[in-house]
């Protein structure tokens, strides 16, 4: 059984909290629930951004996700 | 008055061509931050290292694309470029601007930005260079509310789709590129504004194989108009070209005397598949051999036209040389009917199948063309549920092995091991 939307959100936030890297690729979240399709996972992660719980972080050509609290300043780069 | 000494940049103004240095100096008269671009660039020329930092901010609230963060790593020395973000603005379909729209855009950019622009980026959208973080939201508000225009794509999003002028002005267009581009742009708003993929993804729509938006070289999915019946020939007009009464190439090369028009030298002999010949004063084409390269039609537009059973070829996987080498897109579907009546249903189904696969299998920062290369075309065709056809074959085989899938082998791969061991001891 695939996780419910709320369970997915919790799992994503936990991953964003605990992962050694502050910025995560959308693919890093797939592991939260192998049964959820990539497009659904992306929609849930983007919902979390709309709710203000995650933020987008971009290298210019690649976009990643991060917890606001883990990004030190708006440049935010942790060596990417 | 120049704020920094820029001898190296000044040298660039000495040539006969227009110079961005001159443009920047002129712009600096009203937008002083432009002096700091010149100053920082001069320093980079001297030190041979960039002083720009990429990344960070991605956009206005709720959007994950459209803004590319850019900062100076010497903000004290060059305060004008402390923040110098790039804004991507969606261009109108086929780049049909009204002067009113352009004036509004320029007024907006004078108000919130450096005034520096790039029409257009290689993606096809408008690039506005240089603004500060605090200006982003007000700029976005005015752009969307006062002008009804939107940001384009950047980052791991669907990038702003682009199309040729298509049927609005071009008689060669084999489908309605504007309608197709516009309707898919509306359909995939979420993919354009919010990251969705392992890396960037681009669609481009050209109405015929002349491919005026260079879809085959620059897009992950290139939709290129074509026809599957016969090139229409007006033999009377062919004779006019031979007699020199009609200018070849619509007069495009008339600035110089190229000598008398020769249909043999300029058309028949240059056909890449050698499928044309003259017979009894008439031009003949073996349409089964024609690759729809457009050459003969381009040379004699009044005599030759694309056929009437039109649609598009779908190619996948072009990219620029950023990670691995550059590559053209690979032909996957030679002919697909394109119709706004069914909202380009077949194309939409194709696109989403590619996405579903690539989002799962593609590595981070891997373009779909690289995923295809990594796993091989046979794998990709199988995923897409497309039977291999001769058009997929680019070159003679270089791999001596033939791999069978179980369903292709009579009796499958299952066997009774005990029965086999009874005859052959282990
Ligand atoms: C050494 C310095 C620089 C390097 C190595 C560099 C490299 C690149 C690369 C690799 C891309 C393609 C990214 C992608 O779409 O995936 C790109 C795009 C771009 N860069 Fe730079 N860049 C540099 C400096 C700058 C500066 C100083 C600016 C502006 C102030 C700038 C503005 C842009 C813009 C607007 C694009 C997007 C262009 C388009 O899509 O057509 N870049 N750059
Ligand atoms: C399904 C059964 C078999 C398979 C999959 C198999 C596979 C192979 C492979 C992969 C090689 C190496 C080829 C090379 O590197 O050039 C080879 C060589 C060889 N096999 Fe087999 N083999 C099978 C059955 C047999 C049988 C039944 C015999 C003898 C009765 C045999 C005799 C040889 C010999 C003599 C060589 C060396 C040939 C040379 O180097 O010129 N093989 N085999
Ligand atoms: S790609 Fe073909 S149809 Fe489109 S504008 Fe160019 S020549 Fe015309
Ligand atoms: S379109 Fe190209 S391949 Fe076809 S007949 Fe004309 S020149 Fe030959």
Q: What is the CATH number of the domain that holds A18?
A: 1.10.10.10
A80 domain residue, yes or no: no
Model pLDDT, residue A64: 87
- pLDDT for position B39: 96
Who lines ligand 1 at CB under 6 A?
A 60-61; B 50, 52, 70, 84, 86, 121-123, 127, 129, 200, 322
Least confident of B172-181, B279-288, B299-308, B410-419: B410-419
**Is the preceding omega at residue B307 within 30 degrees of 0, hence cis?**
no
Q: In which domain, by residue range, is A39 found?
A: 5-73
Residues B332-339 have a mean pLDDT of: 96
**Token code pair at residue A27:** 């693919």
How far away, in angstroms, is B421 Cα from ligand 2 center? 20
Under DSSP, the state recorded for B79 is: G
CATH of B7-145 among 3.40.50.300, 3.30.70.3040, 2.60.40.420, 3.30.70.2500:
3.30.70.2500
Q: Across the beta sheet with B330-336, what order do the strands follow?
A: B162-163, B203-206, B221-227, B310-316, B330-336
Residues in chain B: 426
Place of tokens 């590319």: B68
How are strands ordered across the β-sheet holding B67-68?
B67-68, B86-89, B126-131, B113-119
CATH H superfamily, domain B162-225+312-408: Sulfite Reductase Hemoprotein, domain 1 (3.30.413.10)
Return the residue of B nearest to A54 by Cα.
B62
- Among the ranges given (B130-144, B169-183, B343-357, B387-401), the one the predictor scored with the smallest mean pLDDT: B387-401
* Of the candidate ranges B60-64, B137-141, B239-243, the one whose mean pLDDT is the lowest: B60-64
In a domain, A79, yes or no: no
CATH code at B232-305? 3.30.70.20
State the pLDDT at residue A79.
36
Q: What angle do CA B87, B89, B92 make, to 5 degrees?
A: 165
Q: In angstroms, rounded to a whole number, what is the distance separating the alpha carbons of residues A38 and B281?
A: 61
Query: What Cα–Cα distance (Å) separates residue B297 from each residue in A2, A58, B291?
Result: 56, 45, 12
ipTM above 0.90, yes or no: no
- Count structural domains, chain A: 1
Among the partner-chain residues A25, A38, A76, the one whose CB lies closest to the CB of B56 is: A76
pLDDT, position B139: 96
The strand pair at B162-163 and B203-206 is best described as parallel
Burial class of residue A57 in the structure, from the number of CB atoms within 10 Å of its CB (0-12 exposed, 13-18 middle, 19+ buried):
buried
On chain B, the residues whose CB falls within 8 A of the CB of A62 are 155-156, 199, 364-365
Residue A49 lies in a domain: yes
Domain contains A26: yes
Atom of ligand 4 nearest to the CA of B304: 6
* Residues sharing a CB contact under 8 Å with residue B162, sequence separation 6 or more, in sequence order: B91, B123, B124, B125, B181, B203, B204, B205, B213
Residues in chain B closer than 8 A to A58 (CB atoms): 55-58, 64-65, 68-69, 154-155
Residue ranges of domains in chain B:
7-145, 162-225+312-408, 232-305
pLDDT in the model for residue B352: 95
Taking the C-alpha atoms of residue B351 and residue B373, their distance in angstroms, rounded to an integer, is 18
CA–CA separation, B319 and B321 (whole Å): 7
- The CA B272 to ligand 4 mean position distance, Å, reads 7
Q: Which two three-digit tokens encode residue B316?
A: 């996948």
Test B133 with A74 for CB contact under 8 angstroms: yes
Mean pLDDT of B210-230: 96
Question: Do the Cβ atoms of B165 and B172 come closer than 8 Å?
Answer: no
- The tokens for B263 are 């249909």
Query: What is the per-residue pLDDT for B62?
Result: 81
Say if B7-145 and B162-225+312-408 have the same CATH topology: no
pLDDT in tens, chain A (80 residues): 578 889 999 999 999 999 888 889 988 998 888 888 888 899 999 999 888 889 888 877 788 898 988 876 555 443 33
Under the banding of pLDDT at 50, 70 and 90, the label for residue B200 is: very high
The tokens describing B56, both together, are: 């960070």
Q: What SS3 class is residue B243?
A: coil
Given a contact cutoff of 8 angstroms between Cβ atoms, the answer to whether A28 and A14 are in contact is no
Give the number of C-alpha atoms closer than 13 A to the C-alpha of residue B360, restricted to the C-beta side.
14
Which residue, A65, A39, A53, A16, is CA-closest to B64? A65
Q: Which spans in B230-316 are helix H?
A: 235-242, 263-266, 295-299
Strand partners, A55: A66
**In whole angstroms, what is the distance from residue B246 CA to residue B237 CA?**
8
Rounded to whole angstroms, the Cα distance separating B74 from B50 reads 11
From the CA of B275, how far away is ligand 4's center (Å)?
Answer: 7
Q: What pLDDT was estimated at residue A21? A: 87
| Cα B371 to averaged position of ligand 1 atoms, centre (Å) | 24
- Chain B residues with beta carbon closer than 8 angstroms to that of A37: 356, 360
Q: Which residue has the tokens 């354009």?
A: B192
Assess if residue A78 is contained within a domain: no
Classify residue B327 by its DSSP letter.
Answer: B
> Minimal CA–CA distance to B226: which of B175, B270, B151, B189?
B175
Q: What pLDDT score was predicted for residue B58?
A: 66
Give the Å distances, CA to CA, from B181 to A26, B13, B187. Answer: 27, 40, 10
Confidence category of residue B407, pLDDT binned at 50, 70, 90: confident
Mean pLDDT lowest for which of A13-17, B55-59, B102-106, B249-253?
B55-59
Sign for the CA dihedral angle at B60, B122, B348, A60 comes to negative
Residue B85 has pLDDT above 90, yes or no: yes
- Checking if the pLDDT of B79 tops 70, the result is yes
Percent of chain B topping pLDDT 70: 99
Q: How far apart are CA A73 and CA B257, in angstroms?
A: 64
Please list every protein residue whose CB sits less than 6 Å from any atom of ligand 4: B 271-273, 275-276, 285, 290-296
């Amino acid at each position: 059984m695939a996780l419910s939307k709320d369970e997915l959100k919790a799992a994503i936030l936990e991953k964003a909290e605990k992962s050694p890297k502050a910025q995560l690729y959308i693919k890093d979240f797939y592991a939260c629930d192998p049964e959820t399709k990539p497009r659904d996972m992306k929609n849930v992660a983007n919902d979390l951004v709309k709710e203000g719980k995650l933020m987008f972080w971009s290298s210019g050509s690649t976009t990643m996700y991060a917890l606001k609290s883990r990004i030190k300043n708006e440049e935010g780069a942790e060596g990417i | 008055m120049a704020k920094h000494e820029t001898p190296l940049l000044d040298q660039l103004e000495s040539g006969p061509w227009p110079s961005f240095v001159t443009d920047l100096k002129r712009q600096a008269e009203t937008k002083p931050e432009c002096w700091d671009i010149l100053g920082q660039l001069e320093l980079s020329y001297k030190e041979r290292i960039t002083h720009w930092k990429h990344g960070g901010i991605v956009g206005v609230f709720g959007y994950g694309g459209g803004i590319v963060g850019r900062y100076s790593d010497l903000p004290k020395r060059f305060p004008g470029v402390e923040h110098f973000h790039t804004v991507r603005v969606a261009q109108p379909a086929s780049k049909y601007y009204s002067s009113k729209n352009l004036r509004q855009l320029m007024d907006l950019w004078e108000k919130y930005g450096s005034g520096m622009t790039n029409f257009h980026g290689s993606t096809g959208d408008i690039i506005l260079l240089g603004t500060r973080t605090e200006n982003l939201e007000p700029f976005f508000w005015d752009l969307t509310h006062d002008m009804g225009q939107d940001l384009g794509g950047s980052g791991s999003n669907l990038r702003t789709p682009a199309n040729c002028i298509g049927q609005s002005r071009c008689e060669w267009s084999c489908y309605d590129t504007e309608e197709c581009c516009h309707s898919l742009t509306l359909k995939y708003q979420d993919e354009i504004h919010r990251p969705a993929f392992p890396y960037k993804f681009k669609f481009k729509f050209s109405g015929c194989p002349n491919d005026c938006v260079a879809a085959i070289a620059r897009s992950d999915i290139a939709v290129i108009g074509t026809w599957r019946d016969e090139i229409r020939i007006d033999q009377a007009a062919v004779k006019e070209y031979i007699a020199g009464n009609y200018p070849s190439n619509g007069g495009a090369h008339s600035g110089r005397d190229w000598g008398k028009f020769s249909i043999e030298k300029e058309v028949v002999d240059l056909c890449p598949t050698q499928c044309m010949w003259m017979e009894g004063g008439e031009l003949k084409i073996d349409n089964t051999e024609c690759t729809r390269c457009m050459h003969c039609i381009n040379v004699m537009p009044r005599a030759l036209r694309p056929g009437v059973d039109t649609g598009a070829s779908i190619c996948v996987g072009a990219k620029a040389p950023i990670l691995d080498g550059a590559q053209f897109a690979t032909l996957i579907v030679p002919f697909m009917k394109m119709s706004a009546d069914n909202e380009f249903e077949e194309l939409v189904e194709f696109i989403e199948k590619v996405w579903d696969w690539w989002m799962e299998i593609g590595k981070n920062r891997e373009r779909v063309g690289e995923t295809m290369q990594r796993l091989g075309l046979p794998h990709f065709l199988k995923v897409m549920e497309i039977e291999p056809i001769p058009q997929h074959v680019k070159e003679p085989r270089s791999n001596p092995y033939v791999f069978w899938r179980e369903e292709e082998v009579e009796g499958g791969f299952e066997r009774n091991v005990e029965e086999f061991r009874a005859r052959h001891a282990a």
